Amino acid sequence: MAKKLKHEKELLKVALEMVLEDAVKRGVVQFEATDSHDLKIQYAYRLLVHDKTISALPQGQETLPKIKHRLAMWVTHKLPEGHELLK
């Protein structure tokens, strides 16, 4: 697996907020209070792949840790230069 990012957990949280907020605004998803955090992570990943915003992981390698890392990497390109999580 690729090298873990310094603030990967926090970056994942920001990525989820960005993707899921956009998905709700677009009307493509409505989450229930009982939906798990892992389900939301997988949904965010699949939505970004569907939108061709990120490339899909190879078939059979779509594990939760790799999906989390891919989302964290994606958000590093969306945050403004000098953001505290990029230091």
In a domain, 21, yes or no: yes
In a domain, 86, yes or no: no
Residues of the domain holding 26: 8-81
What the block records as the tokens of 58 is 């190879």
In a domain, 87, yes or no: no
Q: Quick: pLDDT tens for 13-42.
A: 999 999 999 999 999 988 888 999 999 999
In a domain, 3, yes or no: no
pTM of the predicted protein model: 0.90
In a domain, 31, yes or no: yes
d(C-alpha 29, C-alpha 22), whole Å: 10
48-58 mean pLDDT:
96
What the block records as the tokens of 39 is 């389900």
CATH number at residue 65: 1.20.120.1930
In a domain, 28, yes or no: yes
Q: How many CA atoms lie within 13 A of 6 on its CB side?
A: 5
In a domain, 48, yes or no: yes
How many separate domains does the chain show?
1
Check residue 86 and report its DSSP letter: G
In a domain, 37, yes or no: yes
